[in-house]
Amino acid sequence: MGRVHNFYKPIGSNRIKCLLCRHYCSLKDGQIGICGVNKNEGGKIVNLVYGKISAINIDPIEKKPLYHFLPGTTSLSIGTVGCNFKCPFCQNWQISQSKSIENYYRVTPEEIVNIALERGSKSISYTYNEPTIFYPFAKDIALLAKRVGLKNIFVSNGFESPEIIDDMVGIIDAFNIDIKSFKSDYYKKYLKGGLDGVLDTLKRLKERNFWIECTTLIVPQDNDSYQELNDIANFIAKELDINTPWHITAFYPNYKVNNRDSTPIESLERAYKIGKGVGLNFIYMGNILKTNSTYCPNCKESLIERVGYSIRKNIVKDGRCPKCNSKIAGVWR
Ligand code: SF4
């Protein structure tokens, strides 16, 4: 059971190519792609997790994390099972690497949107596992959500195909995209993804004016060198924008990487300084108990103060600093 979708094309020899992500799996009849949830059934592609969610929560938007997108609101957050990456430190591996598709809750797009409205959320987030692999389901929810004034958020590893990115215009509003490393071989060998694809996705999202925030989970020994953090920060500053928020988050031993220390605060502080050094205006430390404030890049006024996922103060007015009237990058209503 599942739902046939249109994001594929026939490529001859009874094969079809899935167009959802940059793996572009070539599937013969009966075959399931790398993600475990898109299958060739009789020459058509079926999304096996359509309408089947593994998790649903009302989360603060700050937990996605998005700090410059409707701060202080909640986002109805859903995920399914499956993933197109195989990160050995995945913090949601129980669902992302699960193959038990039929064990989860059944919901319709209408039900999801109604829950979001009833609970007063301003947005729906497609998160927990990689949402690109269930885009046909997310899209149906998102189209309904748009009609009733809700926004849509993708929390993603950035491996969307260019075809899907174009399809998302006018449907998805904001993204948090992981930049997990700046080494191609690391992405390929350990994560089973691709750095160039992720960077290309980010540039395409930027060109199409989606709101973007980036996250880097700092894993000791893997991506915490000065060079690598500097490369990531530089990419954000030069190819995206110095006003693109960068979330640098602490790793805790998990899944297959359980023989290592968690990220020391010094590494986060070093990454923060590196980001500042290349000119980034908004850098936030996550997964640790710390206050995280947003300051006006022009007059340095403290605009938003956060403790954990809650907001203690927010004086941004109509997207501007109330003291010097500078525009503050983000989506504020
Ligand atoms: S979503 Fe990606 S991994 Fe899954 S079948 Fe399609 S191309 Fe392959």
- For residue 255, the model assigns a pLDDT of 87
- Residue of the nearest CA to atom 5 in ligand 1? 33
Residue type (1 letter), 86: K
- CB of 157 sitting under 6 A from ligand 1: no
**Token pair recorded at residue 248:** 């640098």
The full set of domains in the chain, from first to last, is 3-47 (no CATH), 52-288 (3.20.20.70)
- CB of 92 sitting under 6 A from ligand 1: no
Catalogue the long-range contacts made by 137-143 (C-beta closer than 8 Å, 24 or more residues apart).
137/3, 137/47, 137/49, 137/50, 137/51, 137/80, 137/109, 139/167, 139/171, 140/109, 141/78, 141/109, 141/112, 141/113, 142/171, 142/172, 143/109, 143/171
DSSP letters spanning 115-182: HHHHTT-SEEEE-SS-GGGGHHHHHHHHHHHHHTT-EEEEEE-S-B-HHHHHHHTTT--EEEEE---S
- For residue 45, the model assigns a pLDDT of 96
- CB of 217 sitting under 6 A from ligand 1: no
User: How many angstroms separate the CA atoms of 178 and 164, rounded?
Assistant: 18
Q: Give me ligand 1 centre to Cα 18, in Å.
A: 6
- Which of 141, 138, 119, 205 has the alpha carbon at shortest distance from 169? 205
- For residue 101, the model assigns a pLDDT of 79
Q: Give me ligand 1 centre to Cα 313, in Å.
A: 42
- For residue 105, the model assigns a pLDDT of 87
Residues 320, 322, 327: CA angle, nearest 5 degrees? 20
Q: Which atom of ligand 1 is nearest to the CA of 135?
A: 1
Q: Strand pairing partners for 320? A: 317, 327
- Residue of the nearest CA to atom 7 in ligand 1? 24
Q: Packing angle between helix 135-147 and helix 109-118, nearest 10 degrees?
A: 50
- Which of 185, 272, 184, 281 has the alpha carbon at shortest distance from 226? 272
Q: Which residues contact 178 (CB under 8 A, 6 or more apart)?
A: 156, 157, 158, 198, 214, 215, 216, 217
Q: What is the pLDDT of residues 188-222, one digit of tens each?
A: 999 999 999 999 999 999 999 999 999 999 999 99
Q: What is the pLDDT of residues 252-292, one digit of tens each?
A: 988 888 888 899 999 999 999 999 999 999 999 998 888 89
- List per-block mean pLDDT (blocks of 10 residues) for the chain, which spans 333 residues: 91 93 97 97 96 96 97 97 94 86 88 98 97 98 98 98 98 98 97 97 98 97 96 98 97 87 94 98 91 95 94 96 98 95
DSSP letters spanning 66-92: -SSBSTT-EEEEEE-S--S---TT-TT
- Which of 5, 2, 111 has the alpha carbon at shortest distance from 56? 111
- CB of 306 sitting under 6 A from ligand 1: no
Q: Which atom of ligand 1 is nearest to the CA of 38?
A: 5
- Peptide bond connecting 65 to the previous residue in cis, omega within 30 degrees of 0: yes
- For residue 91, the model assigns a pLDDT of 87
- For residue 257, the model assigns a pLDDT of 87
Q: Give me ligand 1 centre to Cα 27, in Å.
A: 10
Q: Which residues contact 185 (CB under 8 A, 6 or more apart)?
A: none
- CB of 33 sitting under 6 A from ligand 1: yes
- For residue 102, the model assigns a pLDDT of 75
Q: Give me ligand 1 centre to Cα 8, in Å.
A: 10
- CB of 34 sitting under 6 A from ligand 1: yes
DSSP-derived 3-state class of residue 270: helix
- For residue 6, the model assigns a pLDDT of 94
**Token pair recorded at residue 254:** 């998990």
- CB of 25 sitting under 6 A from ligand 1: yes
Q: Which atom of ligand 1 is nearest to the CA of 24?
A: 7
